[in-house]
């Protein structure tokens, strides 16, 4: 699957191994021309999934998200990055116009995405990335080992030839990955040790929805946890671990924590059992169990039936009572009647 199918999904997948000592710096960029002619360009920089800086078209500047990030980068570096991204924004427009021609496109909404990243495990250099995508599909990337550009689709071969022949650009990308990206990563790691070591416990919320056929749909929402790695599973009373029906995956939130949810569908024969959502996370001393509420047994039909029967009895009793009174009244009237004398 193309890495750029959805940028928000990419944010959630980066740096999953950070807890094991592998640290990532990832710069994610999106440039798009709207149908009304307006242009949007934004950048998110993340350290181990922690947002450290951003750039947007409306602000036209790189903004660190935390004070410790400002200290790690320095004012001069931030100003330099602001000027660079103002230039990258202009280049992004050129790329999209050029790539539209390669695809024989004349109008419409088109998107360029860029993923630049480097990683370290101790002092060992990890993966390095300089990738481009166009309209949600891989387009071209830089091979740091071969020092050449690789076209992901045939139509990108023209762009590969252009950049392979541009020694200045290729040398800049090589320098950026091997030096600037790693230096920035090390500075952020040094200043952000305490932040990266923090542990935030998840909040777990479970719910149940019963169907008319006796089956049930169980949901478990787990939010607000950090770091990213987590394991969520379903447990049936008695200890049996069940496979979920659906899971959202682990997604980032706006406050640098993470969120996930999973569901389990159980049939009528199993709906009467008790179920719990089991969560394992580095912030917890041991796995937590949050039990789903038992099936709700509603008394409404029974109550209605009783009321209807009682109402019927009362109604019948009332009718019989009224009839008896009427008959008795009629009898009294008859017994007091004396026929008139026929004698003159």
CA-nearest of 32, 180, 31, 30 to 117 is: 180
Peptide bond connecting 87 to the previous residue in cis, omega within 30 degrees of 0 = no
Cα gap 30→32, rounded to integer Å: 7
Backbone angles phi, psi at 56, to 5 degrees: -135, 155
The answer, as to whether pTM is greater than 0.85, is no
Please give the Cα distance from 85 to 30 (Å, whole number): 12
Domains in the chain, please, with CATH? 7-196 (3.30.500.10), 203-291 (2.60.40.10)
- Spatial distance between the Cα atoms of 226 and 283, rounded to a whole number of angstroms: 8
pLDDT tens profile 196-219: 888 999 999 999 999 999 999 999
State the number of CA atoms in the 13 A half-sphere of 124 facing the CB.
5
pLDDT tens digits, 84-95: 999 999 999 999
CA distances from 138 to 13, 90, 110, 155 (A): 17, 21, 14, 11
Q: Does residue 75 sit in helix, strand or coil?
A: helix
Give residue-wise pLDDT tens across range 120-174: 988 788 899 999 999 999 999 999 999 999 999 999 999 999 999 999 999 999 9
- For residue 243, give both structure tokens: 């496979």
DSSP 3-state of 145? coil
Sign of CA dihedral 57, 58, 60, 62: negative
Cβ atoms of residues 45 and 78 within 8 Å: no
Distance from C-alpha of 3 to C-alpha of 317, rounded to nearest angstrom = 77
Interacting residues of 14 by C-beta distance below 8 A, sequence separation 6+: 24, 26, 46, 49, 117
- Residue 334 confidence class, pLDDT cut points 50, 70, 90: very low
Q: Please say if the pLDDT value at position 317 is more than 80.
A: no
């Amino acid at each position: 699957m193309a890495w750029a199918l959805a940028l928000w999904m990419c944010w959630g997948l980066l740096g999953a191994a950070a807890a094991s000592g592998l640290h990532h710096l990832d710069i994610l960029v999106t440039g798009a021309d709207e149908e009304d002619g307006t242009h949007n360009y934004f950048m998110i920089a993340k350290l181990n999934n922690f947002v450290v800086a951003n750039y947007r078209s409306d602000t036209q500047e790189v903004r660190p998200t935390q004070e410790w990030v400002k200290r790690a980068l320095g004012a001069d570096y931030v100003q330099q990055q602001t000027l660079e991204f103002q230039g990258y924004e202009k280049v992004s427009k050129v790329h999209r116009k050029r790539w539209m021609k390669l695809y024989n496109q004349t109008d419409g909404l088109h998107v360029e995405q860029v993923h630049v990243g480097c990683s370290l495990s101790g002092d060992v250099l990890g993966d390095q990335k300089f990738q481009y995508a166009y309209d949600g599909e891989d387009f071209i990337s830089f091979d740091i080992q071969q020092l050449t550009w690789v076209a992901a689709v045939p139509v990108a071969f023209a762009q590969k030839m252009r950049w392979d022949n541009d020694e200045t650009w290729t040398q800049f990308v090589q320098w950026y990955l091997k030096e600037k990206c790693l230096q920035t990563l090390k500075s952020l790691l040094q200043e952000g040790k305490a932040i990266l070591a923090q542990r935030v416990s998840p909040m777990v919320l479970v719910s149940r929805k019963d169907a008319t056929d006796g089956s049930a749909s169980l949901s478990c929402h787990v939010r607000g946890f950090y770091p990213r790695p987590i394991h969520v599973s379903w447990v049936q009373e008695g200890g049996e671990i069940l496979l979920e029906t659906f899971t959202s995956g682990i997604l980032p939130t706006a406050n640098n924590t993470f969120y996930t949810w999973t569901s389990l569908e159980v049939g009528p024969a199993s709906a009467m059992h008790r179920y719990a959502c089991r969560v394992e996370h580095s912030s917890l001393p041991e796995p937590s169990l949050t039990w789903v509420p038992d099936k709700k047994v509603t008394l409404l039909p029974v109550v209605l039936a009783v009321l209807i029967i009682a109402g019927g009895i009362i109604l019948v009793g009332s009718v019989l009572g009224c009839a008896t009174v009427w008959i008795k009244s009629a009898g009294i009237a008859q017994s007091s009647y004396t026929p008139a004398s026929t004698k003159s």
